[in-house]
Amino acid sequence: MKFAVLDFETTGTQSDGEITQVGLTIIDHDLSIKETYSSYVNPGVPIPPFITGLTGISDDDVKDAPHLEEMMMELVPLLDDVVLVGHNVAFDFYFLQNALDRCGYLPFTGRILDTMDLLKVCFPSLSSYQLGYVSTEFGFEHDRPHQADSDALATAHVFLKSIDELRGLPLITLQRLSDLFPAEESDFGWFLDGLLTEKESEPIQDLDGQKYYRQLALAIDDWSTIAPPRDERAPNPLENESFSEYMEKVQQNLKEKLPNYEQREAQNMMFDEVNKALYEDKHLLIEAGTGTGKSLGYLLPSIYQSVKQETKVTVSTHTINLQEQLRERDLPLLTKVVPFPFKAAIFKGRGHYLCLRKFEQKLNNKEFATPKEDVFTAAQMLVWLTQTETGDDEELNLSHRGTDFWETVQSESESCLGRSCPWFKKCFYHRARHEAGIADVVITNHSKLFTDVKASHQLLPSYDYLVIDEAHHLEDVAGKHLGMHMKYFSVVHTLTRLFKDSRNGQFPALRQQINQSGHEKYVEWTSAIDELFPFALEAKEEWDTLSDMLFKLLPERMDAAPGDSGQFSLRLKPQAKPKAWDKISKHENQFYVTVGEMVRKADKLLGEVREELDDYASDSLITDITGLVRDLAELRDNLRLFMRLDDTGTVYWLEASGQFRSKSLQLYAVPVDVSSHLKELFFDKKHSVILTSATLSVDKSFQFMIDQLGLSEAQEKGRLMTSLLPSPFNYRDQALLVIPRDFPSVKGSVGDDHFVSMLVTSLAETAKATKGRMLVLFTSYRMLRQVHEPLKEALAASDITVLGQGVDTGSRTKLTRRFQEAKASVLLGTSSFWEGVDIPGEALTCLAIVRLPFQPPSHPVVEAKSELLEKEKKNPFMKLSVPQAVIRFKQGFGRLVRTAQDRGIVIVYDTRVIESYYGKYFLYSLPGPKMEHMVTEKMVPRISEWLMEHETNNETDGT
């Protein structure tokens, strides 16, 4: 069996492209690379500039190249009796068939394999399947991405690596994969079948690495075998050791393990402050800027206090990203440097863990909603089970459909069989829970923290000490969790999982099992299931009508991105309900009654069947259905709660995106002021709560956060410590902040022509001076769109790429990666780019802030909070809008300098920072960069001069 790995570069898409280059790598029977062939091709048409930008292939390269017919004469003999392989092979295959046809050859009829499919199945945890990324990850040389010969060779290496991976899988996993892809149905199936036949003829070699259970190969053993970190009978390792003695040993070990480790003043201060608060049972607000080493700053004292006092410390982060960073980067380091064994466990929300029972059932019954996509997701998960020790979905690179698949196999409390589940001892969720139970430090996230509070503390192990990282988000998360949030699809997914139609779904699956059981009541039970179907249909119709009517109430928001979930939004006020509210309420009432009747009948039926049909398969199905029926009842109650609009302390609003209209509808009911809830739940009950973030103070004061989070009483009683750590960076030297003082101002979220043209000119000139490497932050998506096209044109001749969030496809992570990889580019971003984006080093030299990041005053929560402040005779603008904007401004500023070596320029185009009475709060809150204001035309020369100075200084320093 020979393989031919093919790659074409073209002038455009399948409908209008011509071939400009071909690359072919032949892999022989023994899986060695036998020969390579490559050639430019004269396309007979000019190559578009953006293709030259992407591939580096210009008109000059191809002007003397062979034409298509000459190239095909050399290529066709090489394709004799081969299996064709490509990365996204459909593209290359289309061009091949087209070329064969045009040059008078017969079409290619051999087998075809796509390395994208192989990568997805073999490496389910890779964060991207792009050829460039994969080559770097695997350490292959791929020096000229988007050139056909380099791409073909890289694809050949990826193909061989995937075959190695498949051959190394346990036999049972290969058999199950082969079962998912029948040989006669696809070339991929045929290929797997060949590998399986080969594996079955070998002696069995893979019994050591895996654990086998119920026809699945797993990487893990029973969780009950996991022992506590230290022998409980042994003396406490910190019995006679002070905190400073412990830290001395740790820092000695850090020096040995990390050659570049040097003690930082701010981090040492943080160790002491956190330890003092934990030891003295006080709360602490501590602002630690970028570069402080904040994670170790709270983890080391937490481990000390936890082990010394034999009590648990819980750490909560806002993002799962930070949780992952702690797992992958900080905890492995701490395991090496802490002078005694300890355990830190990561514990996420239950939906992040795979339920093995549901997965097994889905696999055995081949319950696939979208067969083609679902089969690949199931295959990814089969391979992943041989690798994962956590069963956490963050490890999987799932497609869009894959996330729908995940929802049907994730762990849920409502459908858990507990100890009676045959998978109980292998269960990933119960493993995480067990590990949290025996750990010294439990790392969770804000979301889980509040879910635990709502579940009367049944989810997390009990704790008296709490560290909250990224604490500037706490108030927002608290509001969402202590209130109510409901989506259009929450209802639809639940109904659809019960009845996809009259023949598919969980209820029809139960009907089938009842039929097969031959139980004497099977006729009565199956007809009871059939009677439920019309209720499900009616509930779905009522919900659609209701969602549609609610969507029609929504006005469009002027500053939001198209497709942004809050593009349409409307606050609903109890005292001023919309005219159509009574009419809408009638439909809600009908929905309430229909769902109520369905839930009542379903409960009665499920109770009977569970009692009389005693077998595992139906028991687990009944558990799943019972969970879904409970979800449906809860959704019905939440909707009733929302429609009443009767709590004055709650703000109610609707949101949707213009793209998906009523299908993107979201309903919110959130407490206006969460400070009393936070005080009661955490600050009154816990011995010590540490709150940390890079942005907690406004104008060097913590008062805004103290008021918002409910810490005033703790402050009055002397139970609150605050600490503003000095920055480890020399900002006066590393950052220059420039304000063009004559820049035009702008009202609202749309810039007038004069403003936009001045902004584009200034950004383009600056981008040329900084060679791209520029991030531009907008507060309004409309303005980003106004700037995107003209800026692209202005920079086209300079070979500087312009990337725009929401304009160019890709998630925030993908756009950031493209920005970092490009030679020279400008990235335009809105809300989500103001924080959490990490672009250290050379890739980012200039940060431009177009407007100060005030939240739109019309946002329902902002509006409700402002009304509350007005009642208390306070100024909402100074008490709420300014401090919120300052914290966001500091987050944005923090994108620029990420390490001690980073240098750069910040431009603030909003002259309110120097003209208004509140502008000083923004500038005084920054960590001391050099600040200058000047007329716009002097700005670029000053920036060039500053950059030159620093380049010269670096050269004289010998760096």
Rg of the chain (C-alpha set) = 31
3-state secondary structure of 749: coil
Which is more confidently placed, 897 or 193?
A: 193
CA distance 705 to 719: 15
Q: Write out pLDDT tens, residues 785-806.
A: 889 999 998 988 888 888 888 8
pLDDT confidence band for 377 (50 / 70 / 90): very high
The pLDDT score that the predictor gives to residue 207 is 64
Q: Nearest CA to 880 among 847, 856, 849?
A: 856
pLDDT confidence band for 558 (50 / 70 / 90): low
Q: Nearest CA to 911 among 923, 924, 895?
A: 923
What is the value of pTM for the model shown?
A: 0.86
The pLDDT score that the predictor gives to residue 566 is 62
Question: At which residue do the structure tokens 């034409």 appear?
Answer: 67
CB burial string 274-304: b at 16+ within 10 A, e below: bbbbbeeebbbbbbbbbbbbbbbbbbbbbbb
Q: Write out pLDDT tens, residues 842-872.
A: 778 899 999 999 988 888 888 899 989 899 9
CA 41 to chain centre: 42
Q: Write out pLDDT tens, residues 724-765.
A: 999 888 888 889 999 999 999 887 666 678 899 999 999 999
pLDDT confidence band for 958 (50 / 70 / 90): very low
Helix axes 371-385, 115-122, angle to 10 degrees: 40
The pLDDT score that the predictor gives to residue 273 is 96
For the record, the structure tokens of 360 come out as 């097994």
Residue 843 zone, left/alpha/beta (φ > 0; ψ -120 to 50; rest): alpha
Q: Write out pLDDT tens, residues 80-112.
A: 999 999 999 999 999 999 999 989 999 999 999
Residue type, 603: D
The pLDDT score that the predictor gives to residue 206 is 61
The pLDDT score that the predictor gives to residue 659 is 74
pLDDT confidence band for 561 (50 / 70 / 90): low
When pLDDT is averaged across residues 709-733 and rounded to a whole number, the result is 92
Taking 50 as the threshold, does the pLDDT of residue 50 lie above it? yes
Q: Write out pLDDT tens, residues 396-453.
A: 988 878 888 998 899 988 888 889 899 999 999 999 999 999 999 999 999 999 989 8
Helix axes 781-796, 753-769, angle to 10 degrees: 50
Q: Write out pLDDT tens, residues 920-932.
A: 999 999 988 899 9
If you write DSSP's letter for every residue of 822-843 in order, what string do you get? Answer: SSSEEEEE-GGGSSS----GGG
Please tell me the least confidently modeled range out of 491-495, 810-814, 898-902. Answer: 810-814
What does pLDDT average to over the chain?
Answer: 89
pLDDT confidence band for 545 (50 / 70 / 90): very high
Taking 70 as the threshold, does the pLDDT of residue 674 lie above it? yes
Q: What percent of the chain has pLDDT over 90?
A: 54
SS3 of 75-141:
HHHHHCCEEEEECCHHHHHHHHHHHHHHCCCCCCCCCEEEHHHHHHHHCCCCCCCCHHHHHHHHCCC
When pLDDT is averaged across residues 233-244 and rounded to a whole number, the result is 90
When pLDDT is averaged across residues 349-357 and rounded to a whole number, the result is 93
When pLDDT is averaged across residues 290-319 and rounded to a whole number, the result is 92
CA distance 671 to 652: 9
List, in order, residues 6 or more apart from 224 with CB less than 8 Å away.
Answer: 425, 434
When pLDDT is averaged across residues 620-639 and rounded to a whole number, the result is 91
User: Are the C-beta atoms of 909 and 741 separated by less than 8 Å?
Assistant: no
Taking 60 as the threshold, does the pLDDT of residue 937 lie above it? yes
Taking 80 as the threshold, does the pLDDT of residue 232 lie above it? yes
The pLDDT score that the predictor gives to residue 47 is 83
For the record, the structure tokens of 756 come out as 């936009």
When pLDDT is averaged across residues 713-717 and rounded to a whole number, the result is 94
CB burial string 746-774: b at 16+ within 10 A, e below: beebebeeebbebbbebbbbbbbbbbbbb
List, in order, residues 6 or more apart from 416 with CB less than 8 Å away.
Answer: 355, 429, 623
Q: Write out pLDDT tens, residues 18-40.
A: 888 899 999 998 888 888 999 99
The pLDDT score that the predictor gives to residue 193 is 94
User: Are the C-beta atoms of 443 and 322 separated by less than 8 Å?
Assistant: no
For the record, the structure tokens of 533 come out as 């179907």
